Structure 1
Amino acid sequence: MYGLFEDEDDIFMGSPKSKLMDVIFNANNDVVRYELEKFIDRAAAMEMMMRERCSDKFSDNGDEIEKEIKSYILTNRDEIDSFSKNLYIEMMGAILSQSE
């Protein structure tokens, strides 16, 4: 499982999350905005797909979908942490490749 002080033992002195934050705060603002907009669009599309495919399970208010997401995160914490690290690295790479 993901340690509280993950950065302390990292050979590169930072987790993917902390390195992404460094990149976001130091990279070209337009590039960062573009990548964040892409990320939000993707998250919105995934949630809309989930609502469409599970319309019989969820009502329109979104409370059930939020509970389902939180439950999934709790049940799959290790896998979520691992996948999140990959997303941090992917976004960092996209920002850095456009900032050169």
Structure 2
Amino acid sequence: MAKFEALLEDEDNIFGGTPKSKYWDFNSQVSKDLAEDEFDKIVEKIAVMEVMLAEHYDINSLDKMIKSYAVQNMSEVEDMKKSVYMELAGSLLERLND
């Protein structure tokens, strides 16, 4: 299960908002360079995952497979998205103190 499951039980009260809204709150408070660096890390992670998937599946059908999986596993995907937003928000918050 997602790393931050306990924090997500009542998503309307997490630090005054949802994981998604908290990420964007923090993102708007950091410098442009820091925000771009963190975004680049996200893009790199996606690229790595796509390369890994391409080792096992046809690269041209990955988007269709991903969308199909998301529809079939909507609840799990939403929980993971919340966890990822919390992780990303934590990364921004941590770097604010650097």
Same fold (TM over 0.5): yes
Q: Are residues 1:39 and 2:36 paired?
A: no
Q: Distance in 1 between matches of 2:27 and 2:92?
A: 8
State how 1:70-85 maps to structure 2 within 5 Å.
70-85=67-82
Q: Distance in 1 between matches of 2:54 and 2:76?
A: 23
- Deviation of 1:65 after TM superposition, in Å, equals 1.3
State how 1:3-82 maps to structure 2 within 5 Å.
10-11=12-13, 12-54=15-57, 58=58, 62=60, 64-82=61-79
Q: Distance in 2 between matches of 1:52 and 1:99?
A: 37
* Percent identity of equivalent pairs: 33
Q: Which runs of 4+ in 1 moved over 2 A?
A: none
Q: Distance in 2 between matches of 1:19 and 1:98?
A: 15
Q: Distance in 2 between matches of 1:71 and 1:23?
A: 31
Please report the TM-score for the alignment, with normalisation by the length of structure 1: 0.78
- What is the CA RMSD across the aligned residues, in angstroms? 1.4
* Bigger Rg over Cα: 1
* Structure 2 residue identity aligned to 1:48: V
- How many residue pairs get aligned? The number is 86
More helix by share: 2
* Structure 1 residue identity aligned to 2:16: M
> Where in structure 2 are there 5+ consecutive unaligned residues?
1-10
* Structure 2 residue identity aligned to 1:93: G
